[in-house]
Each structure stands twice: as C-alpha cells, then as structure tokens.
Amino acid sequence: MSNDNNPHILSELLAAQNAGETVVLATIVKAHGSTPRHAGAKMIIYENGRSSGTIGGGELEARVREIVQNVFQDGQPRTVPYSLVDTQRGDPGVCGGELEVYCERYQPPATVLVMGCGHVGQAVASLAKWMGYRVVVNDDRAELVTPEVIPEADVYVPGGIEDVLNATPITRSTFVVAVTRNVMVDRQILPALARSPAPYIGVMGSRRRWLETVRLLQEDGLTEAEMARFHSPIGLELNAEDPHEIAISIMAEIIMLRRQGTGKRMSN
C-alpha cells in the first residue's frame, strides 16, 4: 500500500492540537519482508478510541491500541516490534514480514488560564508567558481583558465561565489560576472548572475565604471528589507579599505538580 494518507494525517494532527485534543501518533518506522503497510504509514488514535488512518488493520492495530493506552497515561513514547509470521506463536498476522511501530503522544500546548485580571492575574500572565506557556486571560470586567492591561496574553476572553468554555478548550494541558476579586465570582466559576480535565485548579484567597467558598460550593452540590480538585490557598509557601512574588509562588506550584517535584529545598 502507498502512504498517501500521510498528508491528511499530519493535517489532522495539527487540527487536534488546535482543538486542544491529546492524541497518539502511531508510525511504522521499519518494515522488512511482506507487511500490510510500509515504513512511514501513520495512524492517529484519540482518547475516546476513534482513529484515523491505518498501519495495517486487524490484529496488528488492535495490539497497537493496547500499547497506545499506556502512552496516553504516562506520555512515554514506545517503539514496538511485531513479527507477522505465525499466529500460533502469538504473532498478529501471517504476511511473513516484520515491522516496528513508534507510538508518541501529542498534547496541546501547555496553557495557563488566568481567571481574574487584577494585579496578581497580570503578574501571573506575564510570568507564565516568559516561561513559555500559552496564556489565556479572563475577567467579567471587560476593561481589564485587553492587550493594554495584559500585553503578554495569547487569548483574551472577557465575560463569564461560559465565555471561557466557548472560546478555548480546557484540557489536561491547561493549568487554571483563579485569582478573582471575591468569593461570589469563585462560586460562579469553580463548579465548571471542577468538571473539566484541568490537572491544576489553583484558587487564591486566605484560609478563611476558602472556608467560606467551600461552604457555598457544598450548598451548590459539589461533591468531596470535586472539591478535592482545588488547590487553595494557591501556590507554595514563600511568604510572598507583592503580586510578582505571589505569581512566582503560583507558577512554582504548577511546575512542581507538572514535573512531579517535591517543593523541598535541594540543599536539604
């Protein structure tokens, strides 16, 4: 077979990235003898099991899909060899050849979603952009959601949580920083965030403010599992005071969780 599906696959890979979807790209990197597809054949597998393209079909693709589930989970690429000689010994086919399939996860760009464009939100947006994150900013006060106030943002979304969800996908690569002006704003936005796949939802405020937020969210029906998704008070304990120091504390916590660090002093 030819590899004429590859231009379509690469366009679809880019579209998945733009849509905020995580996918695994499976590519035949080596092929010897008689095989259903040759080196370069590609297939995209989505998290919901949907796929596009083919690397040979049948039992071979079924086995690759099993490997892909591990790639989705840990993000580690894998090269898996297959012989297509004897199904009695467990081979996924009898074409007579051998091939290797390389499976690699592609995630959307790591994004910091800043909800609340006051002084701390502005500092977080600036620092996150400097660190290489894609930055989305939101506030229901439209006059704050502008390039004049936050020149570093990539996406500006004035309005409520519904506007955010319509404007940009929240994915497993989205780190949410909720630095809003009061508890009532948090009450409006946090339920939807708790149901999102975001790996981090930090909520700014004192412990007293957070206890009040918890009370209100529980009144609104949030479960213990949903409440456990929030990090509040936000950030690492640095005794930070001004907005820039607080931004460092917040981004340090995001790095710690993203890179599976401990937050301990390395000199100890």
Whether residue 95 is predicted with pLDDT greater than 80 in this model: the reply is no
The distance of Cα 220 from the centroid of its chain, to the nearest Å, equals 27
pLDDT of residue 90: 38
pTM, two decimal places: 0.77
Tell how strand 78-83 and strand 98-106 pair up.
Answer: antiparallel
pLDDT of residue 7: 73
pLDDT of residue 179: 98
Degrees, nearest 5: CA angle 89-94-95: 145
Q: Read off the pLDDT band of 46 (50, 70, 90).
A: very high
Degrees, nearest 5: CA angle 152-113-131: 50
Q: Kindly state the DSSP code that residue 109 receives in the 8-state scheme.
A: P
Q: Read off the pLDDT band of 8 (50, 70, 90).
A: confident
Helices 183-194 + 207-219 axis angle, to 10:
60
Whether residue 239 is predicted with pLDDT greater than 80 in this model: the reply is yes
Instruction: Determine the length of the chain.
Output: 268
In the chain, the percentage of residues whose pLDDT exceeds 90 is 65
Whether residue 88 is predicted with pLDDT greater than 70 in this model: the reply is no
Q: Which residues contact 244 (CB under 8 A, 6 or more apart)?
A: 123, 127
- The per-residue pLDDT of the chain, averaged, comes to 89
Helix H, strand E, coil C: the string for 139-197 is ECCHHHCCCCCCCCCCEEEECCHHHHHHHCCCCCCEEEEECCCCHHHHHHHHHHHHCCC
pLDDT of residue 175: 97
Whether residue 72 is predicted with pLDDT greater than 60 in this model: the reply is yes
Neighbours of 14 (CB within 10 A): 11
What are the residue ranges of CATH 3.40.50.720 in the chain? Answer: 111-258
Whether residue 75 is predicted with pLDDT greater than 50 in this model: the reply is yes
What are the structure tokens assigned to 168, written together?
Answer: 């940009």
Say which CATH class 111-258 falls into: alpha beta
Over the stretch 107-141, which tens digit does the pLDDT of each residue have? 888 999 999 999 999 999 999 999 999 999 999 99
Whole-number Å distance between alpha carbons of 25 and 10: 9
Question: What residue has token string 């990539």?
Answer: 154
Identify whether the C-beta of residue 98 lies closer than 8 Å to the C-beta of residue 83.
yes
pLDDT of residue 4: 52
Q: Read off the pLDDT band of 1 (50, 70, 90).
A: very low
191-211 average pLDDT score: 95
Over the stretch 96-112, which tens digit does the pLDDT of each residue have? 578 889 999 998 889 99
